[in-house]
């Protein structure tokens, strides 16, 4: 590649990109009077809410699948949150979290159920533009679970162009999912404008185990408007790429980060990304959280 960058979100305070959105969401909701929060999580969002809830002096309840990596569960407990483990996937946890919010009055910070997580995720794009001296890459490869990071960047790049801070077109946005849970990829390839629930999601990349993403419609729109694409990779591919990032670049990537490198090879082979282009891969979390 002419230029290949990895934006390493594992360096954030709670070990993932989730810190951006939940710092904004908790701050704004707390200012509005919220004293208790609830969230369903595949892992990293629970850690971020537990941490920022503790900092804000608010109560937090987290619902997570029993299959969530143990290190992530330990982090959630360490920040003092109430943790409820359930059989099933994040969709099942979402139902329980919403029921708890309705019963208790806790503020529900689930994906796209309030506006400020997306606003916080916009800093992914703002920071990227600043770090690259306001010359955005040709393409971004992003691991898509719930999709708030991709949606936030798409939103802010449009806002920057509207404000005349950027004259060039936004980067083409490419999303990657695991072949064991790929509702967005399936919808994109079918030409659909909405996703359908993925039956029996299975993948080692916990953040990609989202069978019915609420932001699916917006992710599909973002990829199509920027002339990007989507691909699913196997767990074997993403784990091998995760190891390659560690061995060659000393980046302790999450499995989701490994998926972006594995996906890049597919996009190059398909002619969707050219080797003479500049590309940014997003590693959305720290590998140590999964061990």
> What are the structural domains of the chain?
3-13+115-290 (3.40.50.1100), 18-108 (3.40.50.1100)
Q: Could you tell me whether strands 3-8 and 36-40 are parallel, antiparallel, or unpaired per DSSP bridges?
A: unpaired
Residues contacting residue 119 through CB under 8 Å, at least 6 positions apart: 21, 24, 152
pLDDT score for 1: 84
Residue 92 pLDDT class (50, 70, 90 cuts): very high
Residues 38, 31: Cα–Cα separation, whole Å: 17
Residues 176, 215: Cα–Cα separation, whole Å: 15
285 is written with which tokens? 């979390």
Residue 267 pLDDT class (50, 70, 90 cuts): very high
pLDDT score for 32: 97
E strand or H helix that includes residue 37: strand 36-40
pLDDT at 22 over 90: yes
The arithmetic mean of pLDDT across residues 179-193, rounded, is 98
pLDDT at 36 over 90: yes
Residue 43 pLDDT class (50, 70, 90 cuts): confident
Average pLDDT across the chain, whole number: 97
E strand or H helix that includes residue 22: helix 18-31
pLDDT score for 167: 83
Residues 250, 124: Cα–Cα separation, whole Å: 22
pLDDT score for 169: 87
pLDDT score for 68: 94
Q: What share of the chain is helix, strand, coil (3-state, %, to 5)?
A: 50, 20, 35
The arithmetic mean of pLDDT across residues 200-217, rounded, is 95
Tell me the percentage of the chain whose pLDDT exceeds 90.
96
pLDDT score for 19: 98
Tokens 């200012």 identify what position? 31
The widest CA-to-CA distance across the chain, in whole angstroms, is: 55
Q: Is residue 219 within 8 Å of residue 151, measured between CB atoms?
A: yes
pLDDT at 190 over 90: yes
pLDDT score for 3: 96
pLDDT score for 74: 97
pLDDT score for 86: 97
pLDDT at 211 over 90: yes
| Cβ density class 94-127: b for 16+ within 10 Å, e for less | bebbbebbeeeebbbbbbebbebbbbbbbbbbbe
Q: Quickly list H helices, 106-234.
A: 116-131, 148-162, 183-190, 216-225
Q: How many CB atoms lie within 10 A of CB 9?
A: 24
pLDDT score for 122: 98
Nearest to 286 by CA among 116, 69, 118: 69
């Amino acid at each position: 590649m002419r230029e290949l960058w990895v934006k390493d979100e594992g360096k954030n305070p709670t070990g993932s990109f989730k810190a951006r959105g939940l710092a904004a969401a908790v701050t704004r909701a707390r200012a509005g009077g919220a004293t208790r929060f609830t969230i369903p999580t595949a892992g990293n969002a629970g850690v971020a809410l537990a941490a920022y809830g503790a900092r804000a002096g608010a109560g937090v309840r987290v619902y997570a699948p029993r299959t969530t990596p143990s290190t992530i569960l330990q982090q959630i407990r360490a920040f003092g949150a109430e943790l409820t483990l359930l059989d099933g996937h994040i969709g099942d946890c979402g139902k329980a979290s919403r029921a708890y919010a309705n019963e208790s009055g806790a503020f529900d910070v689930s994906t796209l159920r309030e506006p400020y997580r997306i606003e916080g995720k916009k800093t992914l794009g703002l920071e990227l533009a600043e770090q690259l001296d306001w010359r955005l890459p040709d393409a971004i490869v992003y691991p898509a679970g719930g999709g708030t990071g991709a949606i936030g960047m798409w939103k802010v790049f449009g806002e920057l162009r509207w404000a005349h801070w950027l004259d060039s077109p936004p980067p083409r946005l490419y999303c990657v999912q695991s072949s064991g849970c790929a509702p967005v990829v399936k919808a994109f390839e079918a030409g659909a404008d909405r996703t359908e629930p993925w039956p029996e999601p299975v993948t080692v990349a916990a953040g990609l185990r989202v069978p019915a993403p609420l932001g699916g419609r917006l992710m599909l729109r973002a990829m199509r408007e920027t002339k990007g694409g989507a691909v699913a990779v196997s767990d074997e591919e993403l784990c091998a790429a995760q190891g390659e990032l560690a061995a060659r670049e000393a980046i302790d990537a999450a499995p989701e980060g490994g998926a972006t490198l594995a996906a890049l090879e597919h996009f190059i082979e398909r002619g969707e990304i050219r080797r003479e282009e500049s590309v940014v891969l997003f590693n959305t979390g720290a590998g140590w959280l999964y061990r």
